[in-house]
Structure 1
Amino acid sequence: MRVQLCVLTVVCGVAGISASAMPPFFTACSASDPALDSCIESVIRAGGRRFTQGIPELGIATLDPVHLGTVHVDNPALKLTFYDTVVTGLGGFRINAFRMYNSEGRATLDFTSNVTLKADYDMEGQLLILPIRGKGQAKIKITNLNIIVKYQYSTHDGHWRVDSYRDSYKMDRAQFKFTNLFNGNKQLSDLTSRFVNENWRVIMSEVAPPAINEITRRCVKEVEKLFTAVPSSELLRP
């Protein structure tokens, strides 16, 4: 299941792999190892950054940066859309824990990263009690974004397959910068910027879900490519 772990680690970044054999920087763990989880965590630490750089020969795209495209925030009081959204920082993730329950076909990956989201934005409506509108560039810096991914997997024709997953997250801080608020009105823009950053937790409860869910989806997608390319027997020894 080492491979599984590796793959899941891919969810956030795992080691690169050739189409037919494990690369020298990726050493498979043993399913019979009583310290399997610790072994997998070590593999993720060693190869995670390499994985986030992408593996072209396997069709695995880079995860740092990861391009999210258009992200809509679904809020009746606020129309907010991010365009050409790019997230950086996943390559510097820290693995907190990996747990594999092989007999049950499930695993959990827990990691933390500092990430930055940049995009063009179009916003109009109300944030809490404050009317807001603007169209320009947005930058959101998230400190210690902790994401936990729990997934179910199964084996088909000698390869692992992610059957389902769910994620949860929390963060220590978020800082916002929006250019051209209120068509560049400095007084209104400064007031709004202070308000948004003072109430970042409430604001992120609206902004974060669609963006972070998309980050997780992209990571899982690249991990699935790894599972498809590399047999489970090469990823996890008996």
Structure 2
Amino acid sequence: MVGTGRAAELGVLFRRADALQSLSSVQTVAFDKTGTLTKGRLELTDLTVTDGFEEADVLRLVASVEATSEHPIATAVLRRAEQYGLSLAPVEAFNSVKGYGVRAVIEGRKVLVGADRFMAREGISLDGVRDAINAAPALTHADVGVAIDTGTNFAIEAADVVLMSGDLEGVVNTLHIIRRSMRNICQNLFWAFGYNALLIPVVAGVFCSLFGSMLSPALADGAMAMSSVFVLS
């Protein structure tokens, strides 16, 4: 209760009580990228060209083809071309291949833009340039899901913990709070068991067989009360 209360003060809401214990043993934190670590829209960050091609020329050709597309990736490519101040070229014979990509002819050059399977189908080798691994399979095995309140409603409803501040530093705060809470719980259990292990034999009458005296009920009751005070202290 103290741990979750303190977490709430720092903008961390536990939607499942057992998430507190599960998070105490977490060793790896995996972040969703889009909309969490980024602006929620795709950006072209790197453009790798093979021998014989220039980056600006390739970007101009790709952007010219993508100008007729409404795909989020097309929008990202166009933004980068605008940042570079590149002028788009007229597009001929534009054709969209569903599930693969698009093709067109620009200045007499055949341009293909699409997924790696599109290039493979067209007989284009991608050796040496094979865009990352999808993180979705790893995320499905997460022990505890954490969402930020600026995310989608679906993610928030499915999460075990919600960061109400929208600040990713809340993840660090959450882990600190949980680990300190679990440490306190372990300390409380240790002292509670130790205290009772010492005094239960006394209350049970071990002194009676040794010294012929019994612990009075009043003292036993006081000792029990002191047990709680001792552990909380």
Q: Same fold (TM over 0.5)?
A: no
In our comparison, the structure showing a higher alpha carbon Rg is 2
User: Where is the strand percentage greater, Structure 1 or Structure 2?
Assistant: 1
Higher relative contact order (CA 8 A, sep 6+): 1
**With structure 2 as the length reference, what TM-score do the two structures score?**
0.28
